[in-house]
Amino acid sequence: MDSNIILGCENLTKRFESTLALHKVTAGVRKGEILGLVGENGAGKSTLVKVLAGELRPDSGSIVFRGKTVRWESSNEALREGIGMVHQRPLLVPEMTGLQNLFLGKEYARRGLLDEVAATEASRRLIEKYPMYPDMDLTKTPKEMSAGEKEILAILRVLSYDPEVLILDEPTASLPRQETATLIEMIKKLNVERGVSIIFISHKLEEAFGLCDRIMVLRNGKYVGDLMREEFKRERVIRLMIEEDISLFYPPKTEEVGPVTLEVTNLRAPGVNNVSLEAHAGEIVGMYGLIGAGMSEVLESVFGLNRITGGSIKLKGEELCLPSVSVMKRKKVYLIPSDRHQLSLFRNFNVMENMTIAHLASLLPETIIDSAKEHKLATNQANKMTVKCSSVSQAISELSGGNQQKLVVARWLMEDVDILMVDDPTVGIDIGAKRDIYLLLRELTRMGKTVILISSEISEILGMSDRIYCMKHGRITGVLTGDQMTQENVLRHIL
């Protein structure tokens, strides 16, 4: 390994259940360097820095710090040794003042009583030492601070430990342009004046180009290359971020689409800004953007889960006044939400109960649920959808991730569907289950159904969609069809 490397790793592998988040990654930040870490959603950037900062333990491979192999027992140990990490969303206590947040966990006290004077003095010294926003008002609480001030406060808190390496996980993600510029300036000064080595994660390439000495690209948990300052070119980085082999893995696309089934016009809702889109029968409509760009929010609003503040939704030409989940279910419009553990599965229910829960009134209308009938319905559906379980009475915790996901899909396909909205259906599932879900979605369009698909994987969106809506900050930034559907085009619209 490069002897200049202050913090690095060798052959680092980390697995979450069936997902390989990091696969034999060897990387590192050199002394005094600003290293940019870029890659798609789910490329493993956050996982990598969390392992480096002791928040996650690697499955295999080693971490090297100051030339020695280390094993962090906790993130606190890493922090004490000189590795400071600021999370994507700053972890601050909203009700406490900036000063209290700054020294949270190591408060200044005298004879058991908190010493505000000493803390203020210490904060002054800290701000003097590190060129960070000298006129920051620490009497304000995070609630009263701007996004940028909160970010700086979080960085200052880490700096109070005098780290040698500072890790910043998307510090500019939620900042307006002006504050971003200020923050970038400060990070640069921190590096030049205090010699702090920095790992900087960002989705905004221009920002990384302006700040970093070197950029490293991760893709699907693997290291794919790094570029020095003189090699910084948008096209080059994007090409590295992209998967080369969009294999023949995806089923063939639709040749002819039917009439419009869903028409959304100027939709406004929490996280959704004037979104208009339409979907046709027999078509898979893809939606793609960075995490938090508003794709899920669009589908949730259409499904009646979020309150709509403006715009209209038409189903087969008929306008809906107030969409609600029960109305949508009656109209045969279903949403399969993204996080199956949080939003779909009932751990206290077995496979059968998890399957029938959304259709009790229509499929099992008897006052006393006909358990033989329920059992038969669920068993048939499990077989049809190849949900592998010993019996439908099995606990869902005993199912693999892929089978759990198939179960969720099976739940919504127990009854006839017209429009199926699917939010990132293949996260953390094995390749076989992925393939099954792809075939199933295609099968639906062949039967003249409409599918709207959100995915965090760009290759999946490209491989599955007949048309792609690109999103950024709650808005649609582009619609791509046919030959326009390339990774370069998509990334251009969402970044």
Query: Is 1 or 91 the residue whose CB approaches other proteins more closely?
Result: 91
Minimum CB separation from other proteins for residue 234, in Å? 25
Taken in order 190, 192, 198, 204, the sign of the CA dihedral is positive
Q: How far apart are CA 403 and CA 89, in angstroms?
A: 32
Tokens 């609600």 -> residue? 324
Nearer to other proteins, 34 or 419 (CB): 419
- CB of 252 vs other proteins, minimal distance in Å: 17
Contact footprint for other proteins (CB under 8 A): 16-17, 19, 21, 42, 44, 46-47, 56, 221, 305, 325-326, 328-329, 335, 337, 339, 341-349, 353, 357-358, 360-361, 364, 367-369, 371, 375-376, 379, 382-386, 388-393, 397, 411, 428, 436, 439-440
Shortest gap between Cβ of 481 and other proteins (angstroms)?
29
Residues 374 and 352: beta-carbon distance below 8 Å: yes
The answer for residues whose C-beta is within 8 angstroms of residue 355's C-beta and 6 or more apart is: 377, 378, 381, 382, 392, 407, 410, 411, 414
Which residue, 200 or 412, is less far from other proteins as judged by CB?
412
Nearer to other proteins, 156 or 290 (CB): 290
CA 315 to chain centre: 30
Q: Least CB distance from residue 205 to other proteins, whole Å? A: 21
Strands (E), 115-221: 165-169, 197-201, 214-219
Q: Which two tokens stand for residue 48?
A: 């990598």
Q: What DSSP assignment string belongs to 286-306?
A: EEE-STTSSHHHHHHHHTTSS
Q: Which two tokens stand for residue 111?
A: 């004879």
State which amino acid sits at residue 46: S
Q: Would you say 15 or 204 has its CB closer to other proteins?
A: 15
Measured between alpha carbons, how far is 8 from 25 in angstroms, rounded to an integer? 10
Minimum CB–partner distance for residue 400 and other proteins (Å)? 11
State the nearest-atom distance from the C-beta of 181 to other proteins, in Å.
Answer: 28
Which lies closer to other proteins via its Cβ, residue 5 or residue 22? 22
Q: Are 28 and 9 in contact (CB under 8 A)?
A: yes
